[in-house]
Amino acid sequence: MDWFEAGPGGIVAGIASEDGVDTDPVPDGLLNILRVAVRVTLDQEGRYRLEGTLASGGVPVASAATTARLSAGASDMTLAFSGWEISASGLDGPYDLWATLSRISSGSTVVDETSVRTASYARSAFAVPVPAVIVGRVVSGYGLGPMAGAEVWALSYANAFSRRALTNATGWYTLSLNAGAYLLVADRGEAQAVVRSITAWGSQWSNFSLYAQRVNGMYTTLTWQGWRVLTLSTRQLLAADGLALRARLDWDEGDRDGLVSPAEEALLAPPPSLSEDAMDAGDTGVLLAVNGAAYRASGPVVRADSLVGDALATGLPSIERSRLFVSSFSPGSPPKVGLSLRSPYDAVDWDYRFTMIVPGGYRYIGHSPDDSVVMFARWNPFLLDVEGDPLGGTEPSFVDVGVLLYRETSYAPSTPLPPIGLSAAAEGSSVALAWTGPTVNADGTRIVNLAGYHVYRASASGSGFSRVSLALVLSPSFTDPGPGPGLNYYVVTAVNSDGMESAASLEAAAQVPLAVSRIPMEGTMPHSESQFGNPWTVAAVLVLLGLHRLRRRRDQRLRPALPASLGEATPPVVDSCSQE
């Protein structure tokens, strides 16, 4: 271990460890990545960036960078250097590692700059790069011609290697890189980034058509089981640039390990959300009241995050939160119900919507204001969409919404049929369940107020089932993280907003090999096959699978800057890429 000198502010850095990695699917004994763990000792917690360059005799060999949120004290930051670059340099080690450590707050402040020598390496130990080139064109998807100044970015996690290029005046780009598998990203300004996987070999084409950036969505769902019990849930859908967002957070702003960490996610600037404020505060306060009564939290905030995790995962990233609330005022089934909501107006980049799943046979009468709020669905579930501020302000502003419902006196709650097709499969120490939800009630009527599902587990078939889903499950799938070893049996029930629970599904079983700590089960399932337990002990994770909109006004944003002509018919062979 070779230590640096102490830097300003009490910063001390040194090489803690280093090793070469062969990342090829079929290992060939050649190193694709050289990982160097640099130890830093910090005086204060914060977000830090470490940039490093390997050099030999003053000649740069390879560069890498990593960013992480660290606590005060000693931590390791790992730099991943491309074996391709080391091999192509023609220079053997040991190498001088030039390192710059910066603290990132509102700006970037260098806290230490120094160098240290690595262990000895032969360039022949690293993977030999095979030159390849990708040529293509980026144009407007609206037929408005080429897009100059668009960025095309190729990154290879397997080789810690990245190249970027900018399109020229006629939309052409050239990426000179090495043969291999890449994630290829094309983006410009407020266009929606396009992401695709590509294997570069020799010379090949890859063209892109870009459209207006999609609008992010802040979707709130209000699910009542009786008017006294409410599940408040939000889904923050990060549709703008979608899949490219994960890669940027991990590669440009993170540690480049292929995973998006909570610290990397924290770089996102969330929009105003009174729903999330209410969850954090434990009181619906000014956000929501029913016939004038607010709600108090009864249980913790439950989070389901599809952003943290695999940086290359498919599907739009989202952040989901949910919390159970209870009102001290129990209105029963009043003939009229007035819902009062407060919401931000739609912003340029964010769309706000509310879905309300209410108990009983209530129907929509009207809402206010009608100039900035649209009620798309006027029956259960109700879908309310907030429009932009009619005054056109640029600062965040809010609207108070009133919704009036009336009760149909002839209404009688229905009980849903049980789910069907339940399957169970052991995945290591957990069990993955999937099923198909019901579409009709036991009386043959169509289900319009399905709230979710309960999952039950037993160690023997036919009896002894206890609920394992600590929250109401929205989607027809569930992973049980804490089953006991051996054969585990499962059934699932469906629950509607009236609190009516179906009979149990047919059983499914899965064999779990080794014991892990069992997660305590909540609630005991009664032996009756027609009604299970008290419907008011529900905790819910409900996610609105609402469709995010692409507003027409955003379509115009790409048009003024685009040339009217498609330009040249053949590409100029100009290497416009820049090495990171």
Q: Are 245 and 311 in contact (CB under 8 A)?
A: no
Residue 7 CB coordination number (10 Å): 18
Residues 6+ apart with CB under 8 A from 260: 246, 249, 250, 254, 307, 308, 309, 310, 311
Burial class for 166, CB neighbours closer than 10 Å (0-12, 13-18, 19+): middle
Residue 328 CB coordination number (10 Å): 9
Confidence (pLDDT) at 165: 96
Confidence (pLDDT) at 117: 92
Strands (E), 329-476: 336-344, 350-357, 362-368, 373-377, 382-386, 398-407, 420-427, 430-436, 450-458, 466-467, 472-473
Q: Enter the pTM of the model.
A: 0.65
Confidence (pLDDT) at 96: 94
HSE-up of residue 297 (Cα within 13 Å, Cβ side) = 16
Rg (CA), the chain: 28
Q: Which residues of the chain have pLDDT under 70?
A: 1-10, 12-13, 106-107, 331, 392-395, 410-411, 470, 514-580
Q: Are 49 and 84 in contact (CB under 8 A)?
A: no
Decide if 131-214+564-579 and 420-530 have a common fold: yes
Give 567's strand partners.
Answer: none
Of 568, 569, 579, 562, nearest in space to 209 by CA: 562
Topology at the third CATH level for domain 131-214+564-579? Immunoglobulin-like (2.60.40)
Q: Hey, where are the domains in the chain?
A: 2-125, 131-214+564-579, 216-407, 420-530
**Phi/psi at 397 (nearest 5 deg)?**
-135, 165
Tell how many helices (H) and how many strands (E) occur in the chain.
5, 40
| Helix segments in 329-370, DSSP class H | none
The Cα diameter of the chain in Å comes to 88
Which amino acid, residue 365?
I
Topology at the third CATH level for domain 420-530? Immunoglobulin-like (2.60.40)
Q: What is the residue whose two structure tokens read 């070779």?
A: 2
Cα dihedral sign, 164-166-167-168 = negative
Q: What is the residue whose two structure tokens read 């502010």?
A: 9
Residues 6+ apart with CB under 8 A from 60: 53, 54
CATH, range 2-125: 2.60.40
HSE-up of residue 562 (Cα within 13 Å, Cβ side) = 28
